Structure 1
Amino acid sequence: MRDFIQQMQEAGLADEIDRPVDLRFEAAKMAAGTDRILLMKDPDGRKSVMNLTASRPALAAALGSDEKGLVKRLAGAAYNGRLKMMGHLPMREVDLAELPIMTFFPRDGGPYITAGIVFSRSGDVENASIHRMMVTGADRVAARLVEGRHTDVMHREALARGERLPVAVVIGAHPAVTFASCTRVPEGKELAFAAELMGGELPVHECGNGVLVPEAEIVLEGYIGAERTEEGPFVDITGTYDFQRIQPVIEFTGMWTADDPIYHSILPGGNEHRLLMGVPYEPRIYAAVAGVTSVRNVVLTTGGCGYLHAVVQIRKNTQGDGKNAIMAAFAAHTSLKHVVVVDEDIDPFSIEDVEYAIATRVRGDRDLMVITGVRGSSLDPCREGDGTNVKIGVDATMVMGEEEKFVRAGWDA
C-alpha cells in the first residue's frame, strides 16, 4: 500500500494533511469533500489514509490498467496467480486503542473498522471479504456477516462442528488485494486473483491460527465463536443508516503492525466504498451482455450509489439488442435497479452524455422496460417488506436504419 500511495503522490493525486485531524467526524468530513487520497495524522500522531481508491483513475492504476479498459481486462481474469510463502508473523498482545479507528457519523453505533479484510480458513479453503467491524472492546469487534455469504457460511459450519472459525483481519493491504476481496470469485480464489492483478505473484504469511495473509500495515489474528452482540447503526452505500442488528463477535488473540503503520479507512457511503462495491460487478455484467450482443463497456455510476445504476455501452447488431442487454444486466447483478443502454458514440463515464442519449433517443412508449415484483437490493430504502422492488431499463440507443437522424455535429470526418 505504501508503494501505491507514493505512486499516487508522484502522480499528483494525493494530499498530505499537515495538521492533526480528529478521528471523530472530522476525518470523515474531509474525505467526503474530495476524491483525492488523503494522508493524515490524528492528535496522537497515528497515521491514516482515506480515499485510497475513491476515483476510477486511482482504482485503475492500482489494478494495472487504464480507466476505460479496466472492465474488459477484469472480465478476462483467470484467477491463477501464485502465492509465495513467507515466514510467520510475530504476534503481540492486542489493543485496538493503538489504532486510529474512526467514528464517521453522529448516529454510528461506535468507532468502525471499515477497510479490514477478513481472511477466514476452513480446511483447505480460504476466503477473503470486507466486513464492517464495530469496536466493542480492546480485543473485540462486532462484525456484520451478511447472511448466506461465504464468511457467514464458513462460520456456521465451524459452529456446527463445535469449533470457532479462525480469521485474520488485514488493514492496509495493496488496493489490488482489497479489490480482490470485494469480488465474487471462484471459491477460495481471492488471493490468487489478487496475485494475478499484481503481476502474477503475491507474498503471503501464515498466522498462528493457520490463516494466510498478504503483506499489510496491520494484521489482527483471532476467531469468530458463538458470542453475538449488538452492531450498528451504520451508514451504508446509499448514505442512509442501516439498522442495528445482533451480529457475531470476533475475538482477537494477536496483533502485528509494521513500523509506524498507516491505517486505511474507507468513508461509509463515499466514492471509495461505492467503487469497491460496484466495480467488481461490472465485468459480470459485461460478460452477460456479451452473450446477447456486442458490448463495449459497463459502468456502475457513483451517483447510483455504485450499485443500483448501470450504464451499458453496446454496438447493436439487431434492433432488439438494447432490451436484450437490459435483461442480461439485470440477471448478472440482481441488486441493479435502473439500467441505461447506450450506443458506441455515447461516453458511458459521462453522465451528461448519457442524459443526452436519454433526451434524444428515448421514446417512453417504446424504449422503457418496467419490471415489477422482482428481487432488489436490501440496501435500497424503496424496497418492499418482502425484499421486492421495481426495476426499469432504458434503451437509449438509436433505431437501426435511422442512424442518420442522430448524427452529432463535429469536426472529425
Structure 2
Amino acid sequence: MSFRSFLEDLRADGVLEETHEHVSTEYELAMRATGRGPMLFHNADGHVCCINILGSRELLARALRMDARNLARDLSAVGFDGHVREVDSSQFQENILEPDLMRLPVLRHFRGDGGRYITSGIVVSRLDDRINACVHRLMVLDRNRLAARLVPGRHTHQMYSRAIETGRRLPVAIAIGVDPVVLIAASTRVPENKEFEYASALRGDVVEVVTLENGVPVPHAEIVLEGYLTEKRAPEGPFVDITGTMDIVREEPVIEITRIMMRDDAIYHALLPAGGEHRMLMGVPYEPLIYREASKVVRVRNVLLTEGGCTYFHAVVQIEKQEEEDGLKAIQAAMAAHGSLKHVLVVDTDIDIHDPRELEYAIATRVRGDQDIYMYPNVRGSTLDPRSVDGMTTKVGVDATAKLDRLWKFRRVVRPW
C-alpha cells in the first residue's frame, strides 16, 4: 500500500476528515488536529498536509493488515528477510529544486517550541556499506539547514560519529510521505541495515528504492531532502516529546540540505508531537520485542503498552502461568527488552488487557504489596521521563497473577461490567 492509496482507503471509508479552508502552519494546524482522527488540510498556507493518519492502534493495524488487539503477537512473527529492489526513478523526482525549506509547510506545533519541526521524515543515512533508516525530529534552522536530534548509541549516531572521526560528512536523505508500512518499519528496532527488508516482510511485497546523487537509497515518497550530516552543531529544542512535556535544549548535529525533490502535487505528512501517531510509532514497535523476550522464559499470550503510560512507559504482559515465579520472570524480561519501561504489570489470561477496569481489578484482587511488587531503584530509564534524573529512575514490576495453589479463590463467577 502506498502513502496515497492509504489516504484513499481512509477517505473511502469516511475516516478521513478534510477541509479546504485556509489553515496556518503556525500553531493553528496542530491545535485543530489535537485529539482528532486522520485529517487532510488542502490549504495549509497554500500546501496540502495530512496528519494523524496512524493515530490509533486501529489505524496502525489497518496499515499493517493485522488484528489491532493482537499486534504484539502478529508483529513478533514477522522476520527481517524481505526483498528490496533498486529502481531508476520515482515520482518525487518530478521537481528537483535548490534547497529552500521554506517551500514546505513545516509546522510550528506549540508555543515554546524551539522552531518549526519536521516530525515524520525517515532519515536514511549511508556510511560505506552501512545503511540505516529511522525517524528523527528535525528542527528547521534556516532555508537549507536542520538540527537533528540524534540519540547517542543508536545506529545513526554511531554512523555519524564514525564519519566525523574519519573526516567525512555523513550522506543522508529525508523521506516525507512514505508508505505507512515503511514508516512503521523505520520506527522499529531491527538488525542493522534491515529496515527496508523488514518493511518488505511486513507488507508482503518488494520495497523499491532510488539511489540519490549522494549515494543514499530512499523509498518512494512525496518529498525527499538530500544532504549531509556535518560536524557543525546548533541548539535543538525545546520540543514537546511523547509525554506532552517539554524536552530540553541540546547541541545537536546540523544537516545541510543540498537538494529538495517533490511530486508536482506533493502531500506533506505532519506528525503531532505527543499525539496518537507519535505514540503509536514510538511505542507499539516495542511490543513484539517484549513479546519475544518474555516468550523465552514464560508462556506469553499478549503484550500491551498502555495509552495512559504514553504508549511507552507502562507495559502489560499477559501470561499463561505455569509456575509461581513466572510473573517475576515476565517482569524482568519485559524490562530487558525495552529499557525505557518504568512500570510492568503481569496478568492472567482471564484479564482483558485492553480494558483499564480489568487491569485495576487484577491489581485489586491478586496483588499483595509486600510479596508481589518488585522495585529496582537507581537504574537507567528514559530521559523523557520527567521524574528521572539524567535518565536514572526507579522501576516497578507488579505481579497481578493468581496464586496457583489456590486458584479457586481467584476464579470469577460474575463480571459486573
Tell me if structure 2 keeps the 8 A contact 1:220–1:256: yes
Partner of residue 406 from structure 2, selected from 402, 406, 412? 402
Tell me if structure 1 keeps the 8 A contact 2:25–2:45: no
Q: 1:150-161 counterparts in 2 under 5 A?
A: 150-161=155-166
For 1:228, the equivalent position in structure 2 comes to 233
| CA RMSD across the alignment | 1.5
What is the distance in 2 between the residues matched to 1:17 and 1:350? Answer: 34
Structure 1 position 256 matched with structure 2 position 289: no
The two structures have a TM-score, normalised by structure 1, of 0.96
Partner of residue 389 from structure 2, selected from 379, 384, 389? 384
Tell me if structure 1 keeps the 8 A contact 2:315–2:341: yes
Partner of residue 308 from structure 1, selected from 290, 298, 313? 313
Tell me if structure 2 keeps the 8 A contact 1:316–1:343: yes
What is the distance in 1 between the residues matched to 2:60 and 2:394? Answer: 31
Aligned AA for 2:137? Answer: R
Aligned AA for 2:372? Answer: D
What is the distance in 2 between the residues matched to 1:348 and 1:200? Answer: 32
Q: By how many angstroms is 1:160 displaced?
A: 1.7
Aligned AA for 1:399? Answer: K
Gaps of 5+ in 1: none
Q: By how many angstroms is 1:24 displaced?
A: 1.6
What is the distance in 2 between the residues matched to 1:368 and 1:252? Answer: 51
What is the distance in 1 between the residues matched to 2:227 and 2:44? Answer: 29
Q: By how many angstroms is 1:389 displaced?
A: 0.9
Gap change, CA 1:334 and 1:399, over 3 Å in 2: same
Q: 1:29-108 counterparts in 2 under 5 A?
A: 29-34=31-36, 36-88=37-89, 90=93, 91-108=96-113
Tell me if structure 1 keeps the 8 A contact 2:159–2:170: yes
What is the distance in 2 between the residues matched to 1:86 and 1:394? Answer: 51
Aligned AA for 2:43? Answer: D
Tell me if structure 2 keeps the 8 A contact 1:167–1:222: yes
For 2:21, the equivalent position in structure 1 comes to 19
Q: 1:1-400 counterparts in 2 under 5 A?
A: 1-34=3-36, 36-88=37-89, 90=93, 91-385=96-390, 387-400=391-404
Deviates more, 1:51-60 or 1:75-84: 75-84
What is the distance in 2 between the residues matched to 1:80 and 1:200? Answer: 11
Q: By how many angstroms is 1:40 displaced?
A: 1.0
Tell me if structure 2 keeps the 8 A contact 1:14–1:38: yes
Tell me if structure 2 keeps the 8 A contact 1:230–1:245: yes
SS of 1:163's equivalent in the other structure is: coil
SS of 1:97's equivalent in the other structure is: helix
Q: By how many angstroms is 1:30 displaced?
A: 2.1
SS of 2:396's equivalent in the other structure is: strand
Q: By how many angstroms is 1:302 displaced?
A: 2.0
SS of 1:224's equivalent in the other structure is: strand
The two structures have a TM-score, normalised by structure 2, of 0.95
What is the distance in 2 between the residues matched to 1:177 and 1:274? Answer: 17
Encode CA deviations 1:277-319: one digit per residue, 9 max, x unaligned.
1111111110111111110111111211121100111110111
Tell me if structure 2 keeps the 8 A contact 1:169–1:219: yes
Aligned AA for 2:30? Answer: A
Encode CA deviations 1:176-195: one digit per residue, 9 max, x unaligned.
11111111111100011111
Aligned AA for 2:11? Answer: Q
What is the distance in 2 between the residues matched to 1:327 and 1:22? Answer: 47
Tell me if structure 1 keeps the 8 A contact 2:23–2:45: no
Q: By how many angstroms is 1:120 displaced?
A: 0.3
Tell me if structure 2 keeps the 8 A contact 1:116–1:130: yes
Gaps of 5+ in 2: none
Tell me if structure 1 keeps the 8 A contact 2:383–2:389: no
